[in-house]
């Protein structure tokens, strides 16, 4: 039996506990949705005011140089790099994940067309995040490629001589299942294909080693575990083997070698800078820096390795407590138990039509914020999704979250009509 005192004890001896003070969270709220929108760093409000009132309001156009607005994408990219096993000057923070995926997938397809013109298949997982599949679908149409979608256990068999590019999300958004980046990348390369990773649910949540795995391209999200704020710019990484082989297709002036020469022809900038397109969202980029400060603060306390250890402890505890407390209430587990196969979230399942959405709403009404994802056709199981951000979630909160879940189930509270109302963003 795990007790409340055990959980309190774990908070007391948690070496990362002090990091929670860097974040502004409403008192009493148990926020288990940092995998979708990270919490606000306390420093963000003052930074936003400074950017708006001083840098914009007072210094105006001089701030491009004076406040360092112009090279924010590269400077932030260099701060993200150690979190994902990338080198310096290989990452830029810019645009959205969807747009960055368009750029790197286009690059991968162009390289594949040059190196292996007979390969015409882009392979991904059917349960990948939809925007990744939509971007791939559009590109495949335009480039005369075929998008092939398989289940995770079918990937190995699909690595054949038609395959040009394998595009996967490292940690699955619905189930929290994690691929072994090194072995999947090696298998793709052995089959003669390029490897593109989406790190949306990995960056800042699990240690990633892109260079160690020898991956080709990666993209990731700024507003999830990196805590960059709503709509924060995303990032992209290009293996230096490929960076200068190709102009990415959105060849705008910010990716030009000399943007202020204003020449009529495009000359790509050296290095990953050519993956920028147009003028950047400076306010949003400035706030992403506040999110990254959380990882700088974690560094002397053990960095990503310590964050990963705590994340696994939190998710292990949640699974164990749900099993201890909510047994017999029709919940299953979609997330792998094996540590090497799990990201930083836990997804519980419920038979489709058995109120998964309403259970999540009833929890939110009690101040426990998770989210709901509808079942896929294959399993007919709906998902209750809970993200555990080790920077600010504590062990006692996990206990309390499960206690609320038990109450919602045991009292039949989720069956109240107000919890059935679906809104635009779930
Ligand atoms: C969150 C997420 C995105 C988000 O893409 P946007 O362009 O920011 O809307 C993309 N891919 C994956 C795998 C995600 O989890």
pLDDT in tens, 193-213: 999 999 999 999 999 999 999
Q: Which atom of ligand 1 is nearest to the CA of 132?
A: 11
Q: Considering 33, 385, 388, 392, which one is annotated as catalytic? A: 385
CA 229–ligand 1 middle distance (angstroms): 14
For 292, counting Cβ atoms within 10 Å of its Cβ (0-12 exposed, 13-18 middle, 19+ buried), the class is buried
Q: Look at residue 206 and tell me if it is in a domain.
A: yes
In 3D space, the residue among 98, 157, 149, 154 whose CA is nearest the CA of residue 126 turns out to be 149
pLDDT category, 379, cuts 50, 70, 90? confident
Q: Considering 224, 342, 373, 381, which one is annotated as catalytic? A: 224
Separation between Cα atoms, residue 169 and residue 148, nearest integer Å: 15
| Span 290-299, pLDDT tens digits | 999 999 999 9
Mean pLDDT value of segment 367-383? 87
Mean pLDDT value of segment 296-310? 98
CA 196–ligand 1 middle distance (angstroms): 14
Q: Which of 95, 124, 135, 221 to mutate to test the pocket of ligand 1 (most atoms within 8 A of CB)?
A: 221
Separation between Cα atoms, residue 399 and residue 405, nearest integer Å: 10
Asked whether residue 25 falls in the same domain as residue 165, the answer is: no
pLDDT category, 235, cuts 50, 70, 90? very high
Q: Considering 95, 198, 216, 382, which one is annotated as catalytic? A: 198
Asked whether residue 24 falls in the same domain as residue 89, the answer is: no
User: What is the predicted pLDDT for the residue at 244?
Assistant: 93
Beta-strand pair 194-198/217-220: parallel
User: What is the predicted pLDDT for the residue at 380?
Assistant: 82
Number of domains in the chain: 2
Ligand 1: residues whose CB is within 6 Å? 96-98, 129, 131-132, 169, 173, 198, 200-201, 221, 234
Q: Which atom of ligand 1 is nearest to the CA of 198?
A: 13
Asked whether residue 285 falls in the same domain as residue 309, the answer is: no
Q: Which of 35, 94, 95, 97 to mutate to test the pocket of ligand 1 (most atoms within 8 A of CB)?
A: 97
Q: Is the CB of residue 335 less than 8 Å from the CB of residue 350?
A: no
* Domain end position, chosen among 251, 269, 296: 296
Clarify whether 198 is annotated catalytic: yes
Clarify whether 246 is annotated catalytic: no
pLDDT category, 375, cuts 50, 70, 90? confident
pLDDT category, 423, cuts 50, 70, 90? confident
Q: Which tokens is 46 given?
A: 């003052």
User: What is the predicted pLDDT for the residue at 128?
Assistant: 97
Separation between Cα atoms, residue 356 and residue 382, nearest integer Å: 6
Asked whether residue 264 falls in the same domain as residue 226, the answer is: yes
Residue nearest to atom 13 of ligand 1 (CA): 129
| Span 339-360, pLDDT tens digits | 999 999 999 999 998 999 999 9
Q: Which of 131, 179, 201, 281 to mutate to test the pocket of ligand 1 (most atoms within 8 A of CB)?
A: 131
Residue nearest to atom 15 of ligand 1 (CA): 200
CA 201–ligand 1 middle distance (angstroms): 9
CA 423–ligand 1 middle distance (angstroms): 20
pLDDT category, 422, cuts 50, 70, 90? confident
Asked whether residue 80 falls in the same domain as residue 229, the answer is: yes
**Mean pLDDT for all residues in the chain:** 97
Beta-strand pair 146-150/121-125: parallel
CA 221–ligand 1 middle distance (angstroms): 6
User: What is the predicted pLDDT for the residue at 421?
Assistant: 82
Q: Would the pLDDT of 65 be above 90?
A: yes
CA 192–ligand 1 middle distance (angstroms): 27
Which are the contacts of 396, defined by CB distance < 8 A and separation ≥ 6?
4, 7, 8, 11
Separation between Cα atoms, residue 426 and residue 423, nearest integer Å: 6
Q: Which atom of ligand 1 is nearest to the CA of 224?
A: 1
Residue nearest to atom 1 of ligand 1 (CA): 200
Asked whether residue 116 falls in the same domain as residue 242, the answer is: yes
In 3D space, the residue among 368, 403, 395 whose CA is nearest the CA of residue 313 turns out to be 395
Structural domain that includes position 105: 48-296
Q: Which atom of ligand 1 is nearest to the CA of 129?
A: 13
Asked whether residue 405 falls in the same domain as residue 260, the answer is: no
Clarify whether 103 is annotated catalytic: no
Separation between Cα atoms, residue 167 and residue 148, nearest integer Å: 10
- Cα R_g (the chain), whole angstroms: 22
For the question of whether the overall pTM of this predicted structure is more than 0.85, the answer is yes
Which are the contacts of 394, defined by CB distance < 8 A and separation ≥ 6?
11, 14, 17, 20
Instruction: Pick 425 or 403 by higher pLDDT.
Output: 403
Residue nearest to atom 4 of ligand 1 (CA): 97
Q: Look at residue 42 and tell me if it is in a domain.
A: no
Q: Which of 101, 126, 127, 132 to mutate to test the pocket of ligand 1 (most atoms within 8 A of CB)?
A: 132
Clarify whether 392 is annotated catalytic: no
In 3D space, the residue among 105, 130, 76, 79 whose CA is nearest the CA of residue 238 turns out to be 105
| Span 72-90, pLDDT tens digits | 999 999 999 999 999 999 9
Asked whether residue 69 falls in the same domain as residue 17, the answer is: no
Q: Is the CB of residue 66 less than 8 Å from the CB of residue 73?
A: no
pLDDT category, 27, cuts 50, 70, 90? very high
Asked whether residue 132 falls in the same domain as residue 163, the answer is: yes
Q: Which tokens is 388 given?
A: 């555990």
Asked whether residue 158 falls in the same domain as residue 19, the answer is: no
Q: Look at residue 41 and tell me if it is in a domain.
A: no
Residues 275, 279, 282, CA angle at the centre, nearest 5°? 105
Q: Is the CB of residue 102 less than 8 Å from the CB of residue 260?
A: no
CA 125–ligand 1 middle distance (angstroms): 15
Mean pLDDT value of segment 386-410? 98
User: What is the predicted pLDDT for the residue at 376?
Assistant: 72
Q: Would the pLDDT of 424 be above 80?
A: no
CATH at 379: 3.90.1150.10
User: What is the predicted pLDDT for the residue at 354?
Assistant: 92
Instruction: Pick 247 or 232 by higher pLDDT.
Output: 232
* Domain end position, chosen among 244, 275, 296: 296
Distances (CA, A) of 73 to 83, 113, 232, 252, 295: 16, 29, 12, 15, 18
* Domain end position, chosen among 281, 296, 311: 296
Asked whether residue 292 falls in the same domain as residue 363, the answer is: no
Q: Which tokens is 34 given?
A: 């940092």
Clarify whether 225 is annotated catalytic: no
CA 198–ligand 1 middle distance (angstroms): 8
Mean pLDDT value of segment 107-129? 97
CA 332–ligand 1 middle distance (angstroms): 26
Separation between Cα atoms, residue 131 and residue 33, nearest integer Å: 19
Asked whether residue 22 falls in the same domain as residue 83, the answer is: no
Mean pLDDT value of segment 105-131? 97
């Amino acid at each position: 039996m795990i007790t409340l005192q055990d959980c309190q004890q774990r908070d007391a001896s948690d070496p990362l506990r002090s990091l929670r003070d860097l974040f502004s969270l409403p008192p009493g709220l148990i926020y288990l949705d940092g995998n979708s929108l990270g919490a606000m760093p306390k420093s963000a409000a003052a930074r936003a005011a400074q950017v708006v009132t001083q840098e914009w309001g007072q210094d105006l156009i001089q701030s491009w140089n004076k406040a360092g607005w112009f090279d924010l994408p590269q400077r932030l990219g260099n701060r993200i790099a150690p979190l994902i096993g990338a080198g310096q000057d290989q990452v830029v923070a810019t645009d959205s994940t969807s747009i960055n995926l368009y750029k790197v997938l286009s690059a991968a397809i162009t390289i594949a067309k040059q190196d292996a013109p007979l390969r015409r298949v882009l392979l991904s997982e059917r349960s990948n995040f939809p925007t990744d599949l939509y971007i791939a679908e559009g590109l495949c149409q335009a480039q005369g490629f075929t998008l092939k979608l398989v289940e995770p256990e079918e990937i190995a068999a699909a690595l054949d001589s038609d395959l040009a590019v394998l595009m996967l999300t490292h940690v699955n958004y619905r189930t929290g299942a994690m691929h072994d980046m090194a072995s999947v990348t090696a298998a793709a390369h052995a089959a003669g294909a390029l490897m593109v990773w989406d790190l949306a649910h990995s960056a800042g949540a699990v240690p990633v080693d892109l260079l160690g795995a020898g991956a080709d391209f990666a993209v990731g999200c700024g507003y999830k575990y990196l805590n960059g704020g709503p709509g924060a710019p995303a990032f992209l990484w290009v293996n230096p083997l490929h960076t200068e082989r190709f102009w990415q297709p959105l060849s705008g002036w910010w990716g030009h070698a000399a943007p202020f020469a204003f020449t009529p022809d495009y000359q790509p900038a050296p290095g990953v800078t050519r993956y920028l397109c147009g003028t950047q969202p400076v306010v949003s980029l400035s706030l992403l820096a506040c999110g990254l400060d959380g990882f700088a603060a974690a560094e002397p306390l053990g960095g990503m390795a310590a964050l990963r250890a705590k994340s696994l402890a939190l998710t292990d505890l949640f699974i164990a407590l749900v099993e201890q407390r909510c047994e017999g209430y029709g919940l299953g587990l979609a997330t792998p138990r094996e540590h090497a196969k799990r990201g930083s979230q836990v997804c519980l399942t419920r038979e489709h039509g058995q109120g998964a959405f309403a259970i999540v709403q009833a929890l939110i009404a009690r101040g426990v914020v998770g989210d709901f994802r509808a079942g896929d056709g294959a399993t007919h199981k709906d998902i209750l999704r809970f993200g555990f951000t080790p920077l600010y979630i504590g062990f006692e909160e996990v206990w309390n979250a499960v206690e609320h879940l038990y109450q919602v189930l045991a009292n039949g509270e989720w069956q109240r009509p107000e919890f059935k109302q679906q809104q635009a963003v779930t």
